[in-house]
Structure 1
Amino acid sequence: MASAGSRADEQAFKCSICLSVFEKPVSLPCGHNFCLECITNYWGFSNPHVQCPVCRRMFATRPMLHVNTLIAEMTEKTKGTVPEESPGTVKQAGTVVLCSVCTGAKVKALKSCLQCVTSYCETHLEPHETVSTLKKHKLINPVKNLAHKICNIHGGYLELFCFADQEFVCEACRNRDHKTHKLVTLEEAVQMIKTQLEKEKMQEALAKMETTVMTGVRMLCDPDLKEKQRHAVDVTLDPDTANPYLKVSADGKQVTHGAKNRNLSDTPGRFDQVFNVLAKDGFSSGMFYYEVQVKDKTHWILGVVNQSIKRKGDLQLSPKIGYWTICLKKGLQYTVNTSPATNLDVRKKVHRVGVFMDYKEGQVSFYDVDARVNIFSFSGCNFTEQLFPFFSPCPNDGIKNSAPLVISPVKYNS
């Protein structure tokens, strides 16, 4: 049975996708680590826009993946720190170091010899305890892949880690090339990595808590929605920007996703792959407000966008490239497309969304009109071009999401 210490070590080096100890761990630019195969499969092979499964940070291009040698070595060290079990134990789950000499069913190694570069069970270790020349060999606790843990220069065990050069070294290396460098034992390095990972998890938890608290504060303290409704404007959809699968009503007030491509001309302003449509008129100053009915829908996206956004190909939604949007996914999760995306704690289903924009102040706010509360606000935005109301009814999903997005008249009570 594994000790509490070994279980803690393995927990610190587990992939958050497969929940197993890392195999070929790779690091993303955001600092999170995953098995190479896990993150490759998670991203798939066709979508160029990828994100971290943990912090949800989006990457405009797929990062180059290289094995994190420090995490890999620490993982191997963790796998080797397995407590005592009775002889005859067969290797399980890659955590037990087996005797290199046993034939047939191999049993657990008791020690590894640095000179022989071999791991021995209790029976095959006996010569090292009785033969005088073998008694001089250095024995260590059993380690997997022992040959990779021997210094190529001095032949010593790589039992120290150098922070200056980010590499493992032996005692002879310490005395020659690393005299002024900070060195720690493998056990200390494991503990430091564990502490770092725990701090990252704590920071993520605090960030999520802060988002939830700030959302609640905004919902309680936002000024009266009536003040925003004073700036209501007449918004009409522009069919010349609509994806060919979208149906825009004759009055320009409704949009739905259809089952067939309408084979419309592929003009420069038309979205060709994603199911989006813009309003006819944009705004480059002042304040404006409008409302959209989203009742009976399970998936939608609303907001404002820069006039210069891409219209062709698959698109990433982020303020960095001119999108300030909110969406509902799977009928349950409300998300704002910050960078990375932020999930909102909205517990009551929203039927009408109010969208308010203050160009000068750099603010875009979303409201639950019926509850008369603020859902989320982008603030401190730097608007430099014309902004257009943005709509996506998203795919029908059979009939689950067939209801239209409807631009509703604003009922303002003075």
Structure 2
Amino acid sequence: MDVDMENEASGALRRDLTCPVCQNIFSDPVLLPCTHSFCRECLQRSWLFNKKCPFCRELFTEDQAIANRDLKNACDTFVKQTNWTSPPKPSEFSCTLHLKPLELYCELDERLVCVDCATLHSTHRLLSIKDGVPLCKSELNGKVEYFEKKIDLYGKMRQTLFKTVEYIKKQAGAAENQIKEEFERLHNFLQAEENMRLKTLATEVKEKISNVQEKIFETEEHLKSLKDHLDTLKNELDNEDLPLLMNFQNVKIKTYWAQRVSKVEKDCLLVMSKHVGSLSFNIWKSMKDCVHYYPVVLDPNTASPWLALSPDMISMKESLEPLPVPDNPDRFDPCVFVLGAEGYTSGKHKWEVSVGDNPKWILGVCKESVVRKKMFRVSTTGGVWAIRLSKGMYTALTQERTQLPVNSCPEKICVRLNMDKGEVSFYDGLAEKHLVSFTFKLEKGEKMYPLFGPGLQNTPMTIVPGKVKIHTS
């Protein structure tokens, strides 16, 4: 075989062993279901952009590409026998499929293609690089604006979260001081109670011991006198017969003893039951005069920034300046409301509120999902069942406002909530006169909360303490 024929055969073999994508001898070749082979790396790069065979455009999945061992062995043998050296890799700005410069931009696929790729994008809009750059920059500039706004929002949220942490620390400090003050008050009461009981015990001990010591003194005097009588008798017994008989009557008179032996009195011991019997219960029972029970306490996390709450969470009034509180989701703003801390899903509940001479207020109940972050019409249709005093008129806040026939101005309003019947009633707390009742229906599991709107007044609205009763059985 001459040299030309040998070179022609070698060239034909090289073409059969050349990857259609990189135009180089196959490296780790894989076979597709369509029987076309490609370098594994070339196929993986192509598959990122198009899930079709780079040669015949038939669809395939990545796991369908299997190693072509026979072709790999043939390529390894060809490289060894011909001392084949791979040509330099194409530029990163060249088409990996056709090895031609990337000169066009596909608007639909959003990638660069060469002129030979144009047939694969015949239904797409192809732009020159000069026209494609402004299009991409415009979109990226939009992204820049979007991320700048997002960064601004995240920055503001970061500051809000930092302020929230500081507010939580402030809350913790206030709660700690309140707890310490309350325990100090209870400690003082218990200390005074302890001192009083110890003093009572010491007084009785002194009295009982004094009584017994008087008996001891009396007994010792009698014992001394008896010993003297005994000595006298013994001396007389030692006398001669005649003197003994002569002094018998006198001795008998002198040694006459009519005193009785002292007895232990039945009440001489301490009454232990009075001092230590049911001691802890009796102390607890006496504490009811120094502790107060409130059927409702306020939730400061729901309070409008314009409301100042007392440290014990049972009184509220206007704040002359908006308080620096977090804008948490539960807080009413701009409406000047605050909720009770506990929501109800069942049972009967009752609380009284001292409204004093406030000229404007709202009292009632609301469902948990009531609007918090915008002004709204307070009515039963909005999930609020309440009454209001405004401009001297008492009104039931139904959809169509209903004026209440109130003759006097109640200084205390009683609210009675019956969750089982779905009813809330309002009374003049002092006259015990019924004002109005509402019925309601809630979704299963939804809570009903006490609602307080003291208005922007300097006079505080205060929750009245409930009566404490101790029952034993």
Structure in which a larger fraction of residues adopt strand: 1
Give the TM-score normalised by structure 2: 0.36
Larger Rg: 2
